[in-house]
Structure 1
Amino acid sequence: MLFNSTDFLIFLPIVFILYWFVFNKSLKAQNILLLISSYYFYSCWDWRFLFLLAFSTVLDFYSGLAIFRSSTIKQRKFWLLLSVIINLGFLGFFKYYNFFAESFAQFLGALGLEAHPATLSIILPVGISFYTFHGLSYVFDIYNRKIEPTTNFVQYSLFVSFFPLLVAGPIERATHLLPQVEKPRKFNYAMATDGLRQMLWGFVKKVVIADNCAEYANLIFNNSAEYSGSTLVLGALFFTFQIYGDFSGYTDIAIGTAKLLGINLLRNFAFPYFSRDIAEFWRRWHISLSSWFRDYLYIPLGGSKGGNWMRIRNTFIIFLVSGFWHGANWTFIFWGGLNALFMVPLVWFKTNRKNIETVAQGRLLPNITELLQMALTFGLTVFAWIFFRAESLRHAFQYVGDIFSNNLLSRPEVLSYSMLITIGLITTFIIVEWMGREDKYAIEKIGILWPRPLRWSFYALIILTIGLYMHTEETPFIYFQF
């Protein structure tokens, strides 16, 4: 079930009404309703993979109890490794089996040996990367004595499978979400209206920005050999805003939906394209994943405690693993390595924590230095996204090569009236995002103090814009494939 579908627009009000007006006097009933709703939501993709979600849930629930009750370190490690190996085993099989088989065959071919590996027609279960990381963080935290396991299976199951975040995050932590699941929740009007505003802005990002950018990004990337360098730059820019609008739009809708149900989810984006260096970008992009790798991989490897070479090694490890997490393609691994390479000067000179506060905080415009820093960081990000979007490394290098060898300063061939409209929408979007960059999402406080007629007119204008520029077909979110 897509957030941007008619089915979801029917599903959510039904859950909302039952949740607050039928089962509102019983926490247990509310949690059971949300759990059933979450499994139904997931089954709309492919009901056959419900068993995988249920198995992962049971595995980590009982592994957590076993770790906590173990009397020796050896026993604790056994139960932790059991959970990790089985979880990553399922993830590896469904997501990476064919990749490893084909890569091994290519390696043997490079040595002059012929191989015909057996590949399988494997369907990637939607959300497996996300709910697997939910469960792993839970058992890791129990093992490290940060939390005690819950003995309530329904509450734990809801933590893993809560439908707003089930298929594309944010990647939640038990320390943050479980306490909310365990405590009674009362309807909060201010929280609900805030959730609706955030959902509204999420739909703008997805339907108005991402889907319209996707039309031109796909056109240019899929026919890149036919276009000039200037057109290829335009294609990279369209994809840059497509992926941001698509993924952060999903996150805004997910967080807003959870607020309607009285639950706060972790923030996942903080205006990353206004970053002044790559380190700041990664503190603001996909925050829940970045912090997951920091806490469960980077810090256990030694973090920043060692010398420069150790810190650089650890940086490359987490970025390469992060790239591989995104998909079974060498393009993602290269993309991760490229971002690690961008980080090296910051890590070496220990300036990776320099830009912590919001850019131009308390000011309308950035100064020249900030503007140049943002332009450089944005340029590096756009360049890296080419490798993320390309079909293969060969395609990516060909794309980059054609940018600099094929009429870079010429007029793009694909310019049209509709494309200029999309560029105008992107420009307006950037302005609104900039104006709201100090808040949790761009329109969080816009119009709050306006007279009601003016405020509602503003929301009506947003809805009208969504209606005018939405595509007739439902388009899935990019991160569903991860």
Structure 2
Amino acid sequence: MVFSSLIFLYAFLPLSLLCYVACGSIKAKNASLLVFSLIFYAWGEPKYVFLLMFMSMAAWFCALRIEAAPSRESGKTWLIISCILDIALIGFFKYSGLICSVFGEVPNFISRIALPIGISFYTFQLLTYVVDVYRRDAPAQRSYWNVLLYAALFHQCVAGPIVRYKTIAHELFEARRPEGELLAGISRFAVGLTKKALLANPCGSLTETLLLSDAAISNPALFSENLRALSQLPALGVWLGMLAFTLQIYLDFSAYSDMAVGLGKMLGLHYPE
């Protein structure tokens, strides 16, 4: 599920906002937000919800050990353990196939592993939490579910923006959230959605026409064939394709950031820009 999909715009978003507003206390709002965030993530990759929950549990446990450590050095040990675990998991899912291909044939079980959606974003979110606890910028959360909520927030888990824990913790877990900013959030979300539909997507289509399709990029065999075809294109077409691809990447991230900030405002959460 993506922000620009019909199922998100006409079903998920209205239902999640209605349930959120209907809840009275901060704890009830957060419980509703966590349930919808996990549904949002599971919509694309149900099995990888457990990976998200495991990584959140590891960060929660390491942060508690850091806060309870008798010395800064022993606390640093748990920080290093957390960093190694997070980086190792990202490396396995993102680069194991590439590393195996350098040394020989890629095993079948590795080639069948799909990249978990948003793993880079929520991993670095969790790292900021552990680092903030280590630096004494924020207290460790006693509740595992609060750490999971911070990592799984549906409006930023998949495509960012990455926000430090100390920046948002007060609003997310303690402060009353003003729902009066709903219209401002809808307006900002609409700007991002328009940017995505009218600018980023056409740039993506132009890139595929002039250069390589997404299928060619993800398939090594097709990539080689398209690369040979690319060498036959006129220089102007290649330059235009590169420009379109650059604009697509920029506009995609800009649009998703606008939509995430807008969704945050609808929930009473404010992100630094």
Is TM > 0.5 for Structure 1 vs Structure 2? yes
Equivalent pair of 1:155/1:181 in contact (CA under 8 Å): no
Matches within 5 A, 1:104-183: 105=103, 115-116=104-105, 118=107, 120=110, 121-183=112-174
Provide Cα deviations, 1:147-194, integer angstroms capped at 9, x if missing partner.
2212233322211111100011111111111111112434443x2222
CA–CA distance in structure 2, aligned partners of residues 142 and 92 of structure 1: 24
User: Identity, % of aligned pairs?
Assistant: 33
Q: Corresponding residue for 1:236? A: 242
Equivalent pair of 2:171/2:177 in contact (CA under 8 Å): no
Amino acid at match of 1:209: L
Secondary structure in 2 aligned to 1:135?
helix
Amino acid at match of 2:46: W
Query: How much has 1:3 moved relative to structure 2?
Result: 0.6
Query: How much has 1:126 moved relative to structure 2?
Result: 0.4
Provide Cα deviations, 1:248-296, integer angstroms capped at 9, x if missing partner.
10111111011111111232xxxxxxxxxxxxxxxxxxxxxxxxxxxxx
Equivalent pair of 1:155/1:178 in contact (CA under 8 Å): no
Amino acid at match of 2:8: F
Matches within 5 A, 1:283-362: none
Q: Corresponding residue for 1:264? A: 270
Q: Corresponding residue for 1:4? A: 4
CA–CA distance in structure 1, aligned partners of residues 199 and 179 of structure 2: 31
Query: How much has 1:132 moved relative to structure 2?
Result: 0.6
Amino acid at match of 1:211: N
131 and 186 in structure 1: CA distance in 2 versus 1, 3 angstrom threshold: closer
Equivalent pair of 2:59/2:82 in contact (CA under 8 Å): yes
Secondary structure in 2 aligned to 1:163?
coil
Equivalent pair of 2:67/2:140 in contact (CA under 8 Å): yes
Provide Cα deviations, 1:98-133, integer angstroms capped at 9, x if missing partner.
111223x2xxxxxxxxx4453612110001001110
Q: Corresponding residue for 1:92? A: 91
Secondary structure in 1 aligned to 2:211?
helix
Equivalent pair of 2:185/2:261 in contact (CA under 8 Å): yes
Size of the aligned set, in residue pairs, is 254
Equivalent pair of 1:156/1:178 in contact (CA under 8 Å): no
Query: How much has 1:74 moved relative to structure 2?
Result: 3.7
Amino acid at match of 1:73: R
CA–CA distance in structure 2, aligned partners of residues 241 and 202 of structure 1: 15
97 and 19 in structure 1: CA distance in 2 versus 1, 3 angstrom threshold: same
CA–CA distance in structure 2, aligned partners of residues 31 and 212 of structure 1: 37
Q: Corresponding residue for 2:194? A: 204
240 and 117 in structure 1: CA distance in 2 versus 1, 3 angstrom threshold: closer
Higher relative contact order (CA 8 A, sep 6+): 2
Q: TM-score, normalised by structure 2?
A: 0.88
Aligned-CA RMSD value: 1.6
Query: How much has 1:240 moved relative to structure 2?
Result: 2.1
204 and 99 in structure 1: CA distance in 2 versus 1, 3 angstrom threshold: same
Secondary structure in 1 aligned to 2:117?
coil
CA–CA distance in structure 2, aligned partners of residues 78 and 180 of structure 1: 30
Secondary structure in 1 aligned to 2:231?
helix
Query: How much has 1:43 moved relative to structure 2?
Result: 0.1
Q: Corresponding residue for 2:14? A: 13
117 and 229 in structure 1: CA distance in 2 versus 1, 3 angstrom threshold: closer
Equivalent pair of 2:192/2:254 in contact (CA under 8 Å): yes
Query: How much has 1:79 moved relative to structure 2?
Result: 1.3
Equivalent pair of 2:177/2:269 in contact (CA under 8 Å): no
CA–CA distance in structure 2, aligned partners of residues 55 and 216 of structure 1: 40
CA–CA distance in structure 1, aligned partners of residues 207 and 39 of structure 2: 33
CA–CA distance in structure 2, aligned partners of residues 188 and 57 of structure 1: 28
CA–CA distance in structure 2, aligned partners of residues 101 and 73 of structure 1: 38
Amino acid at match of 2:230: S
Secondary structure in 1 aligned to 2:139?
coil
CA–CA distance in structure 1, aligned partners of residues 268 and 61 of structure 2: 28
Secondary structure in 1 aligned to 2:44?
helix
CA–CA distance in structure 1, aligned partners of residues 113 and 177 of structure 2: 43
CA–CA distance in structure 2, aligned partners of residues 91 and 216 of structure 1: 31
Amino acid at match of 1:102: S
Secondary structure in 1 aligned to 2:70?
coil
Matches within 5 A, 1:59-74: 59-74=58-73
Question: Any gaps of 5 or more consecutive residues in structure 1?
Answer: 106-114, 268-482
CA–CA distance in structure 2, aligned partners of residues 216 and 74 of structure 1: 53
Equivalent pair of 2:125/2:164 in contact (CA under 8 Å): yes
CA–CA distance in structure 2, aligned partners of residues 209 and 78 of structure 1: 47
Question: Any gaps of 5 or more consecutive residues in structure 2?
Answer: 213-228
Equivalent pair of 1:43/1:50 in contact (CA under 8 Å): yes
Amino acid at match of 1:4: S
Query: How much has 1:78 moved relative to structure 2?
Result: 2.2
Amino acid at match of 1:125: P
CA–CA distance in structure 1, aligned partners of residues 86 and 202 of structure 2: 37
Equivalent pair of 1:165/1:254 in contact (CA under 8 Å): yes
Please say if 1:194 is aligned against 2:184: yes
Please say if 1:102 is aligned against 2:93: no
